[in-house]
Amino acid sequence: MTTRRNFIKKAALGTAAISFGGIIPGMSAKSYANVIGANDKIRVGAIGVNSRGTAVSTNFAKQKGCEVIYICDVDSRAIGKCINSIDQAVGYKPEGIKDLRKMVEKKDVDAVIIATPDHWHAPAALLAMQAGKNIYLEKPCSYAPAEGELLMQAAKKYNRVLQMGNQRRSWPNVCEGIQALKEGIIGKVYFGKSWYTNNRKPIGIGKEVPVPEWLDWELWQGPAPRVAYKDNIIHYNWHWFWHWGTGEALNNGTHMIDILRWGMEVDYPTMVNSAGGRYFAEDDWETPDTQIINIEFGNKFSMSWEGRSCNGRTIEGSSVGSMFYGEKGSLLITGSDGYKIFGLDNKLIKEQNSKIPIDPRNLMNPAEKLDAFHIQNFFDAIREGEKLHSDIESGHKSTLLMQLGNIAQRVGRSLRIDPTNGHILSDPEAMKLWSRDYEPGWEMII
């Protein structure tokens, strides 16, 4: 387990080692020789930069020892916006490229950031690994569970570093809170509750219109079977269409359920169910705007996630959070980099807050300085073989919990799950949603 002090030390060490270009203390000459680009900058290409991708790639560019050299998007306007953002932040302009297949083949790229819509995450990550790149992959790591399993295999086969972008795994106070939990601060933990709330607006009824000149709709769709272009899909609203998106459960639930899974030290569940729907408005939005997913791990632990996309009433004073309940009290991980510990008598025992302000409802960049810890961990894994805070195996397990919740929601019943591998038991209809249909020629092949 990485403690907060270790963390800061590691982040500082990574930065210092990179900036002075010297051999990192404690590393043998042999391991140093094996390090990818140890003397050089890590050169990065960013894929999908309308919003989150611009925030993350600008953050990467600001890190010592990193240069963002390519910006890839199928929206020509997004490329321009991202190049300007990086130019303003660090004073150079990366090159723009439309087709990610060409970008991942570039010999001068060591790592790629993937911040496309969800249907592209796993296929793009696989292409990039096959081209020898390391990957910072935004959450959720996959659109469907079978894709997450393929990524786990591919990361081993191609021996690549793959960090999922659930950055709270690297926030110092969150780590400290989880450490305290594991050391028994609230005794045995047996229940976890997580949530996300927002005040999202309706998306209306889309009209079929000509594809705008700034967009390559064919490449935007990529692995997803072809449909007609409508005017209420791009950008961001694709989250609420099952064809490309994964709903609030994977959009925001992934972050908070991951914290519960981390703190409770559980892997695959035994039962998952879901209640909810699109209640707030009658429009094209298909995924639930209101949802409760319940997850059981044998008869030992359970956890839940509540999503309210269109009613932002907070829980425990926070629009987003994870709460652990144990024998001796409760521990809350707030939306910011902080935690609170309560006794069974409800009294606050300890509170740890971040001095860095965070807005969890900021869609693009809630916490740049904190996210830099996750980026530094990614660099340390590439340069020094450091353990990732969120490797693909861990990322897949957390993503899967929310995917199983969505599958239970869509088939309308509880799912029994094999706790050894997360697979759905005795339900062929539900298993159809384990993978997806691909546009012919775009299947993921390892």
Q: How many residues does the chain have?
A: 446
- Nearest CB to ligand NAD, comparing residues 21 and 212: 212
Residue 72 touches ligand NAD, criterion: CB under 6 A = yes
* Nearest partner of 133 among 163, 154, 161, 114, judged by Cα: 161
Residue 395 touches ligand NAD, criterion: CB under 6 A = no
Residue 116 touches ligand NAD, criterion: CB under 6 A = yes
Residue 138 touches ligand NAD, criterion: CB under 6 A = yes
- Nearest CB to ligand NAD, comparing residues 37 and 202: 202
Which residues share a beta bridge with 321? 195
Measured CA distances, 25 to 12, 17, 21, 64, 117 (Å): 13, 8, 12, 18, 40
Residues 155-174 that bind ligand NAD (CB under 6 A): 165, 167
Q: Are 137 and 118 within 8 A, CB to CB?
A: no
Q: Using the 8-state DSSP alphabet, how is residue 75 labeled?
A: B
Window of 18-26, 49-57, 127-135, 307-315 that interacts with ligand NAD by CB under 6 A: 49-57
Residue 222 touches ligand NAD, criterion: CB under 6 A = yes
- Nearest CB to ligand NAD, comparing residues 47 and 417: 47
Residue 50 touches ligand NAD, criterion: CB under 6 A = yes
- Nearest CB to ligand NAD, comparing residues 117 and 321: 117
Give the separation between CA 274 and CA 6, rounded to whole angstroms. Answer: 39
Work out which of 14, 48, 276, 307 binds ligand NAD, going by CB under 6 A.
48
* Nearest partner of 280 among 291, 269, 292, 264, judged by Cα: 291
Give the separation between CA 379 and CA 373, rounded to whole angstroms. Answer: 10
How many residues make contact with ligand NAD (CB under 6 A)? 29
Give the separation between CA 300 and CA 281, rounded to whole angstroms. Answer: 38
Work out which of 60, 136, 220, 301 binds ligand NAD, going by CB under 6 A.
220
* Nearest partner of 252 among 191, 168, 323, judged by Cα: 168
Q: Tell me if the bond preceding 25 is cis, omega within 30° of 0.
A: no
Q: Using the 8-state DSSP alphabet, how is residue 188 labeled?
A: S
Shortest CB 18 distance to ligand NAD, Å: 23
Window of 21-29, 117-125, 181-189, 376-384 that interacts with ligand NAD by CB under 6 A: 117-125
Residue 431 touches ligand NAD, criterion: CB under 6 A = no
Shortest CB 367 distance to ligand NAD, Å: 8
Which residues share a beta bridge with 162? 135
Residue 321 touches ligand NAD, criterion: CB under 6 A = no
Which residues share a beta bridge with 199? 310
Residue 219 touches ligand NAD, criterion: CB under 6 A = yes
Tokens coding 380? 């340390």
Q: Are 51 and 363 within 8 A, CB to CB?
A: yes
Residue 287 touches ligand NAD, criterion: CB under 6 A = no
Q: Is 242 exposed, middle or buried (0-12, 13-18, 19+ CB in 10 A)?
A: middle
Shortest CB 446 distance to ligand NAD, Å: 20
Site string for ligand NAD, 330-369 (x = CB under 6 A): ---------------------------------x------
The residues that touch ligand NAD, with contacts defined as CB under 6 A, are 47-53, 72-75, 78, 100, 115-118, 120, 138-139, 165, 167, 219-220, 222, 235-236, 251, 363
